[in-house]
Amino acid sequence: MKKLLALLLCGTLSLSALTGCGAKEEAAEMPAQTLEEGSEEAEGSSEADATGEGTINHNGKNKMAMFGPLTGDNLQYGVKIKNGAELALNQFNEEHGTDFTIEFMDDKGDPNEAVNLANKIISDDTVFCALAGYGSSCAMATAPVFDEADMLLMGVAASHADLPGMGDYVFPVPMSARWESVGFAEIMKECFGAGKLAILYQNTDHGVQTCEFIKEAWESYGGEIVVYESFVPGDTKDFSAVLSKIKTAEPDVFYASAAYSDAAQIFMQAKQLELDAQYVGPGMCLNEEFTKLIGDSIDGTYVLSSTPCFLPSVLEAGNVDEATKKFIQDYEAAYGESPDGFSAQGYDSVKIVLDSALKAGTTDTPAVAEQILAIRSYPGLSGLNMAYNENKEMNKGIYTFEIKDGNFVPVNQ
């Protein structure tokens, strides 16, 4: 009896190892249900009549595959991106009467898992495009796989400067870290002068890269970097040590490159310690959770972003275009909360692919890629005047916000 039990246990364990299940299985169960619902919805719309204006000959290759963190520490981003993507798909299919579908997969935020999924994706004949959901690490880990298979890969939230160079059909959707950083440095210079800058950044590919570019640009303007420190994200909430160090250096401007929860801690603690400087934060802060965390404790802080802010406070400030207003409405109606930059990028990534496929008249990768590359002044939701340059890097404008009364208010240049 005991032996039988032991055998059963071994069998179960081996099976779960084979299917790549992690310790977070319990958490995986819940989102998996919405996952099925999502693709079912998308598949349902394929029943619509195929009488649209432009026609696309896809020969059954009408599926996109998006992988992102639907479980684990970053599931909130994964979900927002997925929602945006789903909305774009449904709206496109409705408008053009097409039958595109999208399959959402969970990479758990793990590059190894992402590669597993990538291998599955390229063996599926109905898929013509892959989308890497969150961050650069999963996108970059899978790029070789897709490049080998000559499949289109969109890095939905991958801003690493090296990504475009990893394959002929690899496209980032966000702005390249290089140009974004240069843009940030320029704006900080314009607003506050090229004086003493202190930088605190998270020790990730993104953090390291962006701040290197900012430092380079800042020094080229004749500015001085007085403190340049990194931290390990998620490791601690206590930044008082390094903040005291920064305080002693008496910077004019203090830039923190961190995820919104860490950025909130950094700035709140800096205020507690009476660190006097102009605080500047990155676009990752432009969401409701951040505003809830900070309250009105860090008013006067600037936030720079290459993706817009969709919070009510920005809507109220006016000068938001119709397309954005509609997006916010539609998103809120479908998902019960405001979208953010990630949702917008999820939306745009799908729309760019589908619009390009429409122009090309086919879903064959080279043709679609050609159209994507030709994008200029694209009316995307996730940025101003989106365009790809010859290196497949995305270029757009930078939005500037100031925090007033705990809300983001656009600053007009």
Partner 1 sequence: MLVQQIVNGFTIGSVYALVAIGFTMVFGVLELTNFSNSSLYMFGAYITFLFYTATGIHFFLAFGISIVLTGLLGYGIDRFALRQLRKKKAPKLSGLITTLGMSMVVDNAIMVFFGTDSKSFENFLDFGKIYIGSAVVTWTQIIILIAACILMITLSVITYRMKIGKAMGAIAQNQDAAKLMGIDTDKIISLTFIISGFLACIAGTMVAMYYRSIDTAMGSSIGIKIFAAAVLGGVGVLPGAVVGGLVLGIVETIVSAYISTGYRDAISFSILILVLLVMPNGLFGKKAINKV
Chain contacts with partner 1 (rule: CB under 8 A):
23-24, 26-27, 30, 72-76, 200, 203, 229-232, 234-238, 240-242, 244-245, 247-248, 260-261, 264-265, 268, 272-274, 289, 292-293, 295
State the chain's maximal CA–CA distance in angstroms.
Answer: 78
Shortest distance (Å) from residue 278 CB to partner 1: 20
Long-range contact pairs involving 370-375 (C-beta distance under 8 Å, separation at least 24): 372/171
Residues 6+ apart with CB under 8 A from 28: 21, 22, 70, 71, 106
| Alpha-carbon span 37 to 14, nearest angstrom | 29
What are the structure tokens assigned to 223, written together? 């500015």
**Closer of 122 and 270 to partner 1 (Cβ):** 270
**Closer of 191 and 268 to partner 1 (Cβ):** 268
Shortest distance (Å) from residue 15 CB to partner 1: 19
Shortest distance (Å) from residue 3 CB to partner 1: 19
Helix axes 136-148 and 205-220, enclosed angle (nearest 10):
100
**Closer of 171 and 255 to partner 1 (Cβ):** 255
**Closer of 57 and 203 to partner 1 (Cβ):** 203
| Alpha-carbon span 386 to 255, nearest angstrom | 25
Q: Assess contact for 278 and 411: CB atoms under 8 A.
A: no
| Alpha-carbon span 242 to 230, nearest angstrom | 9
**Closer of 192 and 335 to partner 1 (Cβ):** 335
**Closer of 289 and 321 to partner 1 (Cβ):** 289
Shortest distance (Å) from residue 197 CB to partner 1: 17
Shortest distance (Å) from residue 100 CB to partner 1: 30
Beta bridge partners of residue 302, listed in sequence order: 280, 402
Shortest distance (Å) from residue 201 CB to partner 1: 9
DSSP readout, 21-78?
--TTHHHHHHHHHHHHHHHHHHHHGGGS----SS--B-TT--EEEEEE-SSSTTHHHH
